[in-house]
Each structure stands twice: as C-alpha cells, then as structure tokens.
Chain A
Amino acid sequence: MILCLRSLALAATALACQPGGGADPGASADPDRMLASGMTARQVIEARALHFKDLGGSFKAVRDQLATASPNPSLVRLATQEVKYASDDLPGWFPAGTGPETGVEMRAFAEVWSDSEGFAEISTRFRESAAALHATAQDDDLDAARSQVRAVGEACKDCHDRYRAEED
C-alpha cells in the first residue's frame, strides 16, 4: 500500500515535471525508459531496494545465530550463503542510468557511478569477505565466523559511509 502510494506520488511528480523540461537540466532521466536489461530504471531501483532488504535480513540472521551460545550450523551456512550470493550480485544492482538523476527516491549517491573505481573496490572487498565468511560456516568454524562477520560488517559500513545517504 505504501509502495503503491509512493509510486503514485512519484508518477505525479514525474508528470508535473515534464512540461517544464525537468528541474535538473543535467538529468538525462526518464525513470520509465527501458534499459538494456529490459527493465525500466524505476524497476531496477525498486528491485535494488528489495535486494538490500533481503541482504539486511540474511546478514542479521547470521549475526543473531552467531551471538547465541550454540548457533544452528545449517542456519549459519544457509544465511552466509545468501550473503555471499548477494555480494556476487551487488555490482549488477547498480546499472548505468539508475542513479539519483532519475528523480526516483533513493539513498544511493551519484558517486556510485561517477567514482565507479572506488565503488568497485569496496564491492570486491565485500565479495571476498562474504566468501570467506561462508567458507568458515562450511567448516563449522564458529570462532572464525564470528571474527569474519565483523570484516563483512565493516565492508557494509565503509560502502554506506561513502555511497549512501544517511537520511532520505
């Protein structure tokens, strides 16, 4: 419902902006233009938000398990696998043309695309630390997992500090 209302509101602003030629002259941005992937920018952005919500949930599941005295090993394996898959996919959630220039509400900064090297560097660090975390879980090495969780969390934080707005 909230999503519905929000996209209605966004559609309304998009319509309202069209005749004037848009508020930002540098913006290339019709969020409903089809991208190479066959999805519109708006669809990619909404899917991205859902991917991140899932990632947040999976990573929380890992931490909650590891915080208990006797974590459930198969749950830890499963949840670390989800985080690992997400870390493999993450760069693909940010195709060109899905940044703030679309006018769609998001927290991603334009720097994700303008500083793509820095973004790729942190993405790689995330991918490597998430893979290492999953490996510790497959070995049932909980102590190693507990310290590796920290490294993954730092990757999330570093990227958010640089490329994501704290407030929306």
Chain B
Amino acid sequence: MRVWDLPTRAFHWALVSMSLFAWGSAELGELAWHRRAGLAILGLLVFRLYWGFAGSSTARFHHFIRGPRAVIVYARRLHLRNPAYHIGHNPLSGLGAVALLALLALQVALGLFAVDVDGLESGPLSHWVSFDVGRLAAETHEIVFGALAMLVTLHVSAIAFYAFYKRDNLLEAMLRGDRCVPETRTPAHLAPHWRVLPGLLLAGAAIWLIATVLGSA
C-alpha cells in the first residue's frame, strides 16, 4: 500500500543530501557552496510547507500533527515489539517531523543573516541587520546546528529502533513509497501529480527573491 508519495520521498532524500552537503561545505570552509546549499534547503522547506497543505493525505500537517493525548497513548505502547502499520506518521514521528522541519527553518533563517567576524563571509540578507545582530545570528546558527545534529541522530536511531526492535521497516517505505499493511487499513489519499507544480514555483520564487531582489539590495 502506498504510504509516501513521490514528492514527499524526493523531498526527504533531497533534504538529506543537501543537509549533508551544507554541513560538509561549512566544515571545509567552502562558504559559497554552503550558502547555495542553504538556499536549496530553503526551497525544499517552502515546497514541504506547501505540500503539507496541498499534498497527499500522509504528507498533510493536519494528518500528522496530533494532540498530546494521542502522542502519550502511542508512546505508552512504544515498547511493544510489533509493527503498528501506520499509514504515514505515527503520533510520535509526526511530532518529530514537525520538530525537524521547524528547527531546519530556524537554522536556514539564522544563516541568511549571519555575519562572520572577519567580514569575509556573510549570509545573503545580512546587510539588513547590524553587525551585532549578524554575529548573534551566526552564534545561534552554531547552537542550532548542535540541536539539529542531536535531533537527526535521534531520528535515525528511531528508524533503527523500529527496524531491529519492532521489526518495522520504515526505511523501505521512505525509499519505495510502499509498505505491507493489513488490507483493512484505509489507504492514503494521493494528490494528483500536477499539484507539485505550484509548490515548485513557490520554492523557486522564494530562492529567487532572496538571491536577487532582497539579497543584493
């Protein structure tokens, strides 16, 4: 049964590669590439935001943002060693997805305004803020990186926990889109392919706006 539509999967793996690329380029001091990676992630996040309202049912925020009660009920049964056959996020992974997306958005936003101490490198929107604010953005950018690294570690550990402890292969669903679930489950409602287009346009517009209009002032 289809769980994740193609746009959501493409988003996920593009996000993974761009995040690794952003990290690597920063470590190597290749800040021009780091800025490009950041803009790419910005575009991906804009697309995902759009897809959270216009995409297939499993990608929609109202489908996977659940109240605290649902999360607690689910968390109480987390130790049970059986697959739960969720079509899409379970209440806990929905929370994790929101946390990851929000933290990534914050990280990108901070990067846009960051200023380095030597004045050699800075974010594309840094000329809108003072030196002090830009330095604060840069320092917070580092702190948020640490938080993101922890959250991603937790995320990947959770996937491994499901695979080895619960015998639930979530990775395959994120790769191929399908997973085996009992026929009694209601299938996901899939969005038509053309719906991707407005999202791509929005993402492109956001990148263009920052890279040219706002970015060079």
Contacts and interface: CB of A to CB of B under 8 A. Distances in A.
Interface residues of B, number: 15
B118 A60 contact: no
A56 B120 contact: no
Contacts of A69: 216
Interface in A66-105: 67-69
A53 B132 contact: yes
B8 interface: no
Interface string A41-75: 00000000000010011011001100111000000
A56 B117 contact: yes
Contact of B115 (A60, A67, A68, A156): A60
B125 to A, nearest CB: 11
Select the residue from B117, B119, B120, B127 with max chain A CB neighbours within 10 A: B119
B118 A160 contact: yes
Nearest to B130: A57
Interface string B199-217: 0000000000000000011
Interface string A104-136: 000000000000000000000000000000000
Select the residue from A53, A59, A60, A152 with max chain B CB neighbours within 10 A: A60
Given A53-B132, A68-B216, A60 B119 contact: yes
Contacts, number: 42
B131 interface: yes
A154 interface: yes
B135 interface: yes
A156 B127 contact: no
A67 B132 contact: no
A57 B118 CA distance: 11
B120 A157 contact: yes
Task: Determine the interface band of chain A, counting residues with CB < 8 A from chain B.
Answer: 10 to 19
Contacts of A57: 130-132
Nearest to B135: A56
A153 B135 CA distance: 16
Interface string B110-134: 0000010111101000110011101
Select the residue from A56, A68, A153, A156 with max chain B CB neighbours within 10 A: A56
A153 B126 CA distance: 16
Interface in A139-167: 150, 152-154, 156-157, 160
A68 B217 contact: yes
A156 B216 CA distance: 24
Given A53-B131, A67-B127, A59 B119 contact: yes
Given A63-B119, A156-B118, A157-B120, A56 B216 contact: no
Contact of B119 (A53, A56, A68): A56
A72 to B, nearest CB: 12
A105 to B, nearest CB: 15
12 contacts: A53-B132, A60-B119, A60-B122, A60-B134, A63-B119, A63-B122, A67-B216, A67-B217, A153-B120, A157-B118, A160-B117, A160-B118
The 7 closest A-B pairs by CB, nearest first: A64-B127, A156-B118, A57-B131, A157-B118, A153-B120, A59-B119, A60-B131
Interface of A: 53, 56-57, 59-60, 63-64, 67-69, 150, 152-154, 156-157, 160
Given A59-B119, A156-B120, 14 more contacts: A53-B131, A56-B119, A56-B131, A56-B135, A57-B132, A63-B119, A63-B122, A67-B217, A68-B127, A69-B216, A153-B118, A156-B118, A157-B118, A157-B120
